[in-house]
């Protein structure tokens, strides 16, 4: 049997888009980059020349190109739903960066389009599901090594953020990853959220609550605590631990190496999420390509994208009101079983 080489079009060539171009061109087997689009025309032409792809004038041209079998969407979030629906209409598999869409209505429109098309074409870029550390945690839990999950502790620290970053974005941009990993690790839905803003870091912008503590609860009553601190300065630091009835499982060391000298031990940390999760991104895209070749959907589905947006938007409401927000449990269509 010959395995089809997947020709990938990439829409959005900013930081993460450019990383994906490099990954597909140089680190992924069974795929190559054939078409690119970005509003920054000079940049896209430069990137296209580097990997031997065509620079297209519009996103739609990438999607409908006869030289493109599958698409990665790495444009800003507000364009995700419309572009994903165009990919579905073209009958092409699409890996859409998170969020699937900022609003619940747009996510629902994607699910409706995919179900009408009659086959799973959409994967959402929740790359932590492909991180080795998180996968070990899930395997340990599923194997029964720690008994029943009781509490999930998460820390999400970014060194800094641009001035345009808001307290709500801490939920939709950052905590949305903990929302997805919690649902995936625990295999149940989140039903309640509240957000506490305590003493503010003097290094945070005046308009930003930072750090914030997010407390969520699942259907069975597992408590999830997320510290989100986007001005932690010292490095990018993501931690996670499940406390079970008979043990704990947690992410292992994420150091980039260390040295000892002059009676001191020095550990290098990732400077940002692109470094910390580069292996996870590579594994995610390889798995996506393998899934397309095997004709079976893998990774986070459009339903997972919708569920994450529902909880992230509830967390935004909790930031705004200071109150606990109840979250109705979504019914999962059989299509996504
Ligand atoms: C960013 O947009 C990401 O997706 C990163 O994974 C996350 O750690 C960071 O907080 C976000 O701002």
46 membership: H or E segment, kind and range: helix 41-51
- Shortest CA distance to 149 belongs to which of 111, 188, 178? 188
Q: Is the CB of 174 under 6 A from ligand 1?
A: yes
| Bond prior to 54 in cis (omega within 30° of 0) | no
Q: Which residues contact 246 (CB under 8 A, 6 or more apart)?
A: 145, 146, 147, 148
Please give the pLDDT value at position 254: 81
Positions in the chain whose pLDDT score sits under 70: 1-2
Measured in Å, residue 232 CA sits from the centre of ligand 1 at: 14
Which of 174, 212, 280 for a ligand 1 pocket mutation test, highest count of atoms within 8 Å of Cβ?
174
pLDDT per residue as tens digits for the range 214-237? 999 999 999 999 999 999 999 999
Three-state DSSP class for 8?
strand
Tokens at residue 37, please?
């689009």
Interatomic CA distance for residues 285 and 259, integer angstroms: 33
Whether 210 contacts 231, CB under 8 Å = yes
Whether 301 contacts 336, CB under 8 Å = yes
Ligand 1, atom nearest to 174 Cα: 10
Whether 305 contacts 96, CB under 8 Å = yes
In this structure, the chain runs to a length of 337
Ligand 1, atom nearest to 161 Cα: 12
Measured in Å, residue 332 CA sits from the centre of ligand 1 at: 27
Q: What is the CA radius of gyration of the chain?
A: 20
Interatomic CA distance for residues 38 and 76, integer angstroms: 11
> Which residue, by CA, sits nearest to atom 7 of ligand 1?
174
Q: Is the CB of 273 under 6 A from ligand 1?
A: yes
Cα–Cα distances (Å) from 153 to 26, 43, 134, in that order, read 36, 41, 13
> Which residue, by CA, sits nearest to atom 9 of ligand 1?
174
* Cβ neighbours, 10 Å, residue 145: 13
Please give the pLDDT value at position 1: 57
């Amino acid at each position: 049997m010959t395995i089809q080489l997947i020709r990938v079009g990439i829409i959005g060539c900013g930081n993460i888009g450019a990383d994906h171009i490099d990954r597909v061109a140089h680190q992924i087997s069974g795929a190559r980059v054939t078409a690119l689009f970005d509003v920054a025309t000079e940049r896209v032409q430069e990137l296209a020349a580097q990997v031997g792809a065509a620079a297209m004038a519009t996103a739609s041209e990438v999607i409908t190109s006869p030289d493109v079998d599958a698409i990665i969407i790495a444009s800003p979030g507000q364009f995700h739903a419309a572009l994903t629906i165009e990919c579905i209409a073209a009958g092409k598999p699409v890996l859409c960066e998170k969020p699937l869409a900022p609003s619940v209505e747009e996510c629902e429109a994607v699910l409706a389009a995919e179900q009408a098309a009659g086959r799973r074409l959409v994967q959402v870029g929740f790359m932590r599901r492909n991180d080795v550390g998180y996968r070990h945690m899930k395997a340990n839990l599923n194997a029964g090594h720690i008994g029943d999950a009781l509490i999930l502790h998460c820390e999400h620290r970014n060194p800094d953020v641009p001035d345009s970053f808001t307290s709500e974005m801490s939920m939709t941009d950052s905590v949305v990853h903990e929302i997805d990993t919690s649902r995936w690790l625990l295999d149940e839905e989140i039903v309640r959220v509240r957000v506490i803003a305590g003493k503010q870091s003097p290094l945070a912008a005046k308009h930003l609550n930072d750090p914030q503590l997010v407390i969520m609860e699942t259907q069975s009553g597992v408590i999830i605590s997320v510290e989100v601190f986007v001005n932690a300065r010292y490095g990018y630091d993501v931690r996670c631990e499940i406390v079970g009835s008979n043990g704990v499982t947690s992410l292992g060391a994420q150091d980039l190496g260390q040295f000892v000298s002059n009676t001191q031990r020095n550990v290098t940390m990732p400077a940002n999420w692109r470094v910390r999760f580069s292996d996870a991104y590579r594994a995610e895209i390889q798995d996506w390509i393998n899934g397309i070749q095997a004709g079976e959907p893998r990774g986070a589905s459009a339903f997972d994208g919708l569920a994450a947006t529902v909880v992230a938007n509830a967390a935004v409401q909790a930031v705004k009101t200071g109150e606990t927000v109840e979250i109705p449990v979504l019914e999962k269509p059989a299509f996504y079983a």
